[in-house]
Homo-oligomer: A and B are copies of this chain.
Amino acid sequence: MHAGLFYFRCAFTAAGKRLVKHSIKMENGCEITLSLYCECRFFQLETRSISMRAKPTSFDIAHMAGVSQSTVSRALRNSPLVNKETRDKIQAIAQELNYKVDKNASNLRQQQSRTIALLLFEDPTTDDSKINPFFLSMLGSITRACAAEGYDLLVSFQQLSDNWHADYEDTNKADGLILLGYGDYVDYQDKLHQLQDQNTHFVLWGAVDPNRPGISISCDNFRGGYKVTQHLIRQGRKCFGFIGTADHHYPEFFERFKGHSVALEQAGYQHQPLKLDAISSEEAGKAALNQLLEQQPHIDAVVCASDTIALGVMEALKERGYAVPEDVAVVGYDNILLSNYVSPKLTTVQQDTTAAGEMLVKTVVKMIREEPVEDVILPAEVIVRESCGNTG
């Protein structure tokens, strides 16, 4: 005869019962088939510990606690509706079984995902294997801020050409989007408008442009460019060049350039500021510097729209035999980790990535909650190091 427990894998029927079939071969050759409804599928083999156990569900907990499944659900969500004793008992059982609420079911029911998607995109020309180090440092603070708000973070690298504008929130994979990228603003303007039309919750990192759709968080690019240029002027630099594509395609760079120009103007510079285009890459920086020197060989200060550009500029200057900062001062923007290690150490403008990450997350969470939000401009701080010639 058979004795002991049998292990059944079975399916719930509609009412939360499960139909179970199990056949037993008897020693005399007979075969008995059991068909039964049972209320709990969470059996455990006691004799062997083959752990083929399916994951426990709230129905299993309910059965063990002798309450209804609704009560289990309430108890696990700490609803004040349920009796403290019952609640404690249910939670204890859940813990013991290592029960975890199924997020798909819970999200489906609640029509939310408690997830924020971070979409990183860059100019397609950028080397595919490298990510702008500035974004990477934002990533850390965004992840932490998400965790603090109780959201998960879905990360995705996008090409500007991708269909990112219509995927994450529509799929219910995320409740909101954070868009982080350097890139041609004009290229994706349409997509941003589409996001807005769809009432997607999204927040942008970048220039606060009144015509730009949606909400953006940024550092004060204008004042950053202004202050760093002012510093160079005080150091006695006379002949300036700005490197970085600064027009409405790249509004962040444009703001930095505007700050730069105003600083020069206020210092009494007569002529139009010199400006060379470059996207945020070392190669582009090198190429632009070489052009700059052709136009103006007596340059003694180069303001770069990003640290990555500045790295290329310093390299190119060295190759051409210029000493930094003796002959030419160079300043960057972003304060990436590298900028403090290159030689000479790079003077740059710090964007507070911790504050930025927090603001991005907080803002998108507010949007999800349908609370009012507004653009934020965080302060920018000049970090004086060696490449500008004076640490005073």
Indicate if A102 sits at the interface (CB-CB under 8 A): yes
In the complex, identify which listed stretch (A58-66, A149-157, A178-186, A259-267) lies at the interface while the others stay far away.
A149-157
Which among A98, A105, A166, A171 has the greatest number of chain B C-beta atoms within 10 A? Answer: A171
Does A141 lie within 8 Å of B156, measured CB to CB? no
Does A102 lie within 8 Å of B144, measured CB to CB? no
Proximity string of chain A (124-156) to chain B, C-beta cutoff 8 Å, 1 when within and 0 when not: 000011110100100111011001000011111
* Chain B residues with CB under 8 A of A104: 104-105, 107-108, 113, 172
* Chain B residues with CB under 8 A of A82: none
* Chain B residues with CB under 8 A of A11: none
Proximity string of chain A (94-131) to chain B, C-beta cutoff 8 Å, 1 when within and 0 when not: 00001011111101100001010000000000001111
In the complex, identify which listed stretch (A34-42, A203-211, A233-241, A337-345) lies at the interface while the others stay far away.
A337-345
* Chain B residues with CB under 8 A of A170: 55, 98, 100
Indicate if A83 sits at the interface (CB-CB under 8 A): no
Number of A residues with CB within 8 Å of any CB on chain B: 47
Does A102 lie within 8 Å of B108, measured CB to CB? yes
Interface residues of A in 302-357 (CB under 8 A from B): 311, 337-338, 341-343, 354
- B100, B144, B153: the one within 8 Å of A167 (CB): B100
Indicate if A51 sits at the interface (CB-CB under 8 A): yes
- B102, B140, B198, B199: the one within 8 Å of A171 (CB): B102
- B51, B102, B136, B337: the one within 8 Å of A172 (CB): B102
Does A98 lie within 8 Å of B152, measured CB to CB? no
- B108, B157, B337, B338: the one within 8 Å of A105 (CB): B108
Indicate if A173 sits at the interface (CB-CB under 8 A): yes
Interface residues of A in 154-196 (CB under 8 A from B): 154-157, 166-167, 170-173
* A104–B115 alpha-carbon span in the complex (Å): 12
* Chain B residues with CB under 8 A of A113: 104
Does B166 lie within 8 Å of A100, measured CB to CB? yes
* Chain B residues with CB under 8 A of A129: 140-141, 354
Indicate if A197 sits at the interface (CB-CB under 8 A): yes
The chain B residue sitting closest to A54, CB to CB, is: B111
| Known A103-B172, A341-B342: A157·B133 in contact at CB below 8 Å | no
Chain A residues near B (Cβ < 8 Å): 51, 55, 98, 100-105, 107-108, 113, 115, 128-131, 133, 136, 139-141, 143-144, 147, 152-157, 166-167, 170-173, 197-199, 311, 337-338, 341-343, 354
Nearest 9 A/B pairs, CB to CB: A343-B343, A104-B108, A100-B170, A104-B107, A136-B136, A100-B171, A131-B140, A103-B171, A103-B173
